[in-house]
A = this chain, B = another copy of it.
Amino acid sequence: MSRFFSVISVTDAVKVAEKIAPLPGKETVPVEISAGRVLASDISADTDVPGFDRSVVDGYAVRSADTAGAGNSAPALIRCAGRVAMGKHDATLAVGNAGCAYIPTGGILPPGADAAVMIEYTEVAGDTVLLKKAASYGENIIRKDEDFQAGETVFLAGRRLSPQDTGVLAACGCMDVPVAKKPVVAIISTGNELVPGGVVPGPGQVRDANGPMLSSWLREYGCEPRLYGIVKDEREAFEAVIARAVSECDVVLLSGGSSKDDRDMTARVIADKGTVLVHGIALAPGKPTIIGTIDSKPVFGLPGHPASAFVVLIAIVRPLLDRMLGQTDPLINTVQATLSENIPSQRGREEYVRVKLRDGVATPLFGKSGLLNTLVRSHGLIRIPAGFEGLEKGSTVDVILW
């Protein structure tokens, strides 16, 4: 295994990752817990919404022509024909021929009515209503199919559902929502120096930060993470855990030991049991990344430093997950900010720099990539594309928020 592996571009690495993505699975979930999931089919309304002409105010349903010219000094005097009850259709109630009807917000517009006058502009005198304002045709009402028409496509497959979307799904009669299955992702931490967080590290040992970090990020992104613990540099044990993870999960992430020996062992095992497709990406941090397959399942060897592992997760693993979820827009929050200083970069590799954000200004944090503290003291990442020699102070940058 050569140390000076051949390095490919981020664009090509993403193509490889997308190509090995398993086809999205599909399941249905109740609408109440569908937010955050990705729609697996287009959704159309099963009826007109709202389904009937409705008032949007509390007031009087009228034929607009009957109110022409009405005002404070010359109200229209109209006989009250009755009251509209919420949620009920009263076939005997009709408006027009100088009749009107009390109507609550959301009430069904009685036959003959084409507008509503707000109660604030009315006064009742016996069975007559004084309307002190003219209503124009269609004023203060919603038409029966104004929100959605029966059969109209409301959402396209690939949409990540928001809380509001779930309300619209319910309104359109979609209570069992077809969504992409959550990709099941194995996380195996490797490295002789690693101990679990619950153990006090001895000399030369460090606690495994990548396991919890990767697992939390994957859960937030809509996956089902499975932690397989820490595996030391013993070939047999390592192979056994990988075999189990490959058989139980859709994707395997090996969160590498930081040393060359660990990375080499990871590459050797993938090569023996499957195929190494990529070994080295023109990405900083994140260069010593491995992409391969075992039994047609994607297997990634991520760098050991948490900051580097995180960048590879965002830049390389995420597009594969998007493909598995059938997601059309990546779930990444970016904000624009102004760069506080020049950032030099090496042309030919894509670079991610951690930044602090304050009042729309992004200040780079040039910490060593082995440090954890810059991960939590920064607010996000900016990306310098491979064709750039850096970014200039004062330029507008997109910050990928953590």
Question: B-contacting residues of A (Cβ < 8 Å)?
Answer: 3, 31-36, 46-47, 49-52, 54, 56, 58, 85-89, 104-108, 119, 142, 146-148, 154-155, 162-171, 173-175, 191-194, 196-198, 200-217, 219-220, 227, 233, 257-262, 304, 306, 310, 333, 335-336, 360, 368-373, 375-376, 401-402
Chain B residues whose C-beta falls within 8 Å of the C-beta of A373 in the assembled complex: 147-148, 168
Q: How far is the CB of A238 from chain B (nearest CB, A)?
A: 14
Would you call B108 and A372 a contact (CB within 8 A)?
no
Q: Are the CB atoms of A191 and B87 closer together than 8 Å?
A: yes
Report chain B residues within 8 Å CB of A174: 197
Give min CB distance, A39 to chain B, whole Å. 12
Whether B86 contacts A204 by the Cβ 8 Å rule is yes
Asked whether B147 lies within 8 Å of A372 as measured between CB atoms, the reply is: yes
CB neighbours (8 Å) of A375 from chain B are: 164, 167-168
Least CB distance from A371 to B in Å reads 5
Minimum CB–CB distance for A349 against chain B, Å: 16
Q: In the assembly, what is the distance between CA of A233 and CA of B86, in Å?
A: 10
Q: List 25 A-B contacts (CB under 8 A).
A: A32-B211, A33-B219, A47-B201, A50-B206, A50-B370, A56-B369, A86-B191, A87-B204, A88-B203, A104-B259, A163-B217, A164-B402, A167-B212, A167-B213, A167-B216, A168-B209, A169-B212, A170-B197, A170-B209, A170-B212, A170-B213, A173-B200, A333-B333, A333-B401, A336-B360
Whether A35 touches B219, Cβ cut-off 8 Å, given contacts A86-B192, A197-B175, A376-B168, is: yes
Asked whether A203 lies within 8 Å of B261 as measured between CB atoms, the reply is no
| B164 and A36 within 8 A (CB) | no
Task: Specify which of B88, B142, B216 is in contact with A166 (CB 8 Å cutoff).
Answer: B216
Do A258 and B372 touch (CB < 8 A)?
no
* A227 and B32 within 8 A (CB): yes
Contacts of A209 in B (CB 8 A): 167-168, 170-171
Give bound CA distance, A80 to B370, whole Å. Answer: 26
Within the complex, what minimum Cβ distance (angstroms) separates A279 from chain B? 15
A192 CB to nearest B CB, Å = 4
Looking at A208, A219, A259, which has the most chain B CB atoms within 10 Å of its CB? A259
Contacts of A167 in B (CB 8 A): 209-210, 212-213, 216, 306, 372, 375
| Choice from B51, B163, B206 contacting A213 with Cβ under 8 Å | B163
A201 to B51, CA, bound (A): 8
Chain B min CB distance to A169 (Å): 7
B206 touches A106 (CB 8 A): yes
Tell me the bound Cα distance from A217 to B162 in angstroms: 8
The reply to whether B260 and A58 form a contact with Cβ atoms under 8 Å apart is: yes
What residues of chain B lie closer than 8 Å to A104, measured between beta carbons? 258-261
Kindly list chain B residues whose C-beta atoms are within 8 Å of the C-beta of A219.
33, 35
- A87 in complex: contacting residue of B164, B193, B360, CB < 8 Å: B193
The contact of A192 among B46, B54, B87, by CB within 8 Å, is B87
Chain B residues with CB under 8 A of A261: 86, 104
